[in-house]
Structure 1
Amino acid sequence: MSMDTAFKDDRKLTYLNAEGGNKPLKSPVCDDVLERARAYRLGRLRAALNQSDCAALLLYDPCNIRYAFDSSNMQVWTLHNQMRYALILAGGPAIMFEFKGCLHQCEGLPGIDEIRVAKTWMFMASGDRVEAATNIWADEIADLIRQYGGGNTRIACDSLGGSGVHALEARGLAYVEGTQLTEIARSIKSVDEIELMRWTIRVCEAGMARIYNHSHPGVTERELWAHLHFENARSGGDWLETKLLTCGPRTNPWYQECSDRVCQKGEMISFDTDMIGPYGYCADLSRSWTCGNSQMKDRQRRLYDTALEQIYHNLDLVRPGMSFDEFNAESWRIPGAHVPYRYSLAVHGVGMADEWPVVPLHVDWGPGATTGCFESGQVVCVESLIAEEGSESIKLETQVLVTETGAERLDSFPFE
Structure 2
Amino acid sequence: MAEDQLTQAHGAIEPNEKERVLRDARAYRLARVQEQLRQHQCPAILLYDPVNIRYATDTSNMQVWAGRNPARYVMVFADGRIVAWEFHSSEHVWDGLDLNVELRGAMSWTFFNAGHEAERRAQTWGAEIVDVFRKHAPDNSVLAVDRLDPFGTAYLEKQGITLLDGQALMETARLIKSDSELVLIGESLRTAERGIARMRRELRPGVTENDIWANLHFENIRNGGEWIETRLLASGDRTNPWMHECSSRVLQAGDLLAFDTDMVGPNGYCSDISRTWLVGDSRPSDEQRKLYELAYAQVHFNMDFLRPGMTFREFSDKAWKIPEQYVKNRYCCLAHGIGMVDEYPSIAHSVDWESAGYDGVFEAGMTVCVESYIGAEGGTQGVKLEQQVVLTGNGCVSLTDCSFETDWL
TM-score by length of 1: 0.92
Rounded to whole Å, the distance in 2 between the matches of 1:368 and 1:387 is: 22
Q: What does the per-residue CA deviation read over 1:234-285, in whole Å, with 9 as the maximum and x for residues that have no partner?
A: 1000100000001000111111110000000110000000000000000000
Distance apart, 1:116 and its partner CA: 1.2
Alignment of 1:1-400 (within 5 A): 28=15, 30-91=18-79, 93-366=81-354, 368-388=356-376, 389-400=378-389
Letter in structure 2 aligned against 1:70? D
Letter in structure 2 aligned against 1:129? E
1:404 corresponds to 2:393: yes
Distance apart, 1:97 and its partner CA: 1.1
1:346–1:361: 8 Å Cα contact kept in structure 2?
A: yes
Distance apart, 1:363 and its partner CA: 2.3
2:13–2:183: 8 Å Cα contact kept in structure 1?
A: no
Distance 1:293 1:27, change over 3 A: farther
Distance apart, 1:390 and its partner CA: 2.2
Report the counterpart of residue 4 of structure 2 in structure 1: none
More displaced 10-residue stretch of structure 1: 99-108 or 223-232: 99-108
Letter in structure 2 aligned against 1:408? V
Seq. identity, %: 45
Rounded to whole Å, the distance in 1 between the matches of 2:244 and 2:278 is: 18
Distance apart, 1:26 and its partner CA: 8.4
Distance apart, 1:92 and its partner CA: 6.3
Rounded to whole Å, the distance in 1 between the matches of 2:404 and 2:164 is: 44
SS in 2 for 1:30: helix
SS in 1 for 2:315: helix
How large is the RMSD of aligned CA atoms in angstroms? 1.4
Letter in structure 2 aligned against 1:378? M
Distance apart, 1:317 and its partner CA: 1.8
SS in 1 for 2:334: strand
Rounded to whole Å, the distance in 1 between the matches of 2:80 and 2:139 is: 13
Letter in structure 1 aligned against 2:193? E
Distance apart, 1:340 and its partner CA: 1.7
Letter in structure 2 aligned against 1:384? S
Distance apart, 1:27 and its partner CA: 7.0
Letter in structure 1 aligned against 2:306? V
SS in 2 for 1:167: helix
Rounded to whole Å, the distance in 2 between the matches of 1:351 and 1:112 is: 25
Distance apart, 1:383 and its partner CA: 0.2
Report the counterpart of residue 19 of structure 1 in structure 2: none
Distance apart, 1:368 and its partner CA: 4.2
TM-score by length of 2: 0.93
Rounded to whole Å, the distance in 1 between the matches of 2:252 and 2:346 is: 35
1:229–1:240: 8 Å Cα contact kept in structure 2?
A: yes
Letter in structure 2 aligned against 1:210? R
Runs of 4+ with deviation above 4 angstroms: 25-29
The number of residues matched between the two structures is 392
Q: 2:402 aligns with which of 400, 408, 413?
A: 413
Distance 1:330 1:26, change over 3 A: closer
Rounded to whole Å, the distance in 2 between the matches of 1:403 and 1:367 is: 30
Rounded to whole Å, the distance in 2 between the matches of 1:263 and 1:398 is: 25
2:34–2:80: 8 Å Cα contact kept in structure 1?
A: no
Rounded to whole Å, the distance in 1 between the matches of 2:123 and 2:33 is: 27
SS in 1 for 2:362: coil
Report the counterpart of residue 9 of structure 1 in structure 2: none
2:348–2:356: 8 Å Cα contact kept in structure 1?
A: no
Distance 1:268 1:141, change over 3 A: same
Rounded to whole Å, the distance in 1 between the matches of 2:79 and 2:261 is: 40
Distance apart, 1:294 and its partner CA: 2.9
SS in 2 for 1:316: helix
Distance apart, 1:55 and its partner CA: 2.2
Rounded to whole Å, the distance in 1 between the matches of 2:19 and 2:80 is: 27
Structure 1: unaligned runs, 5 residues or longer? 1-24
Q: What does the per-residue CA deviation read over 1:133-182, in whole Å, with 9 as the maximum and x for residues that have no partner?
A: 11111111101111111310111000111111111112221111111100
Letter in structure 2 aligned against 1:180? A
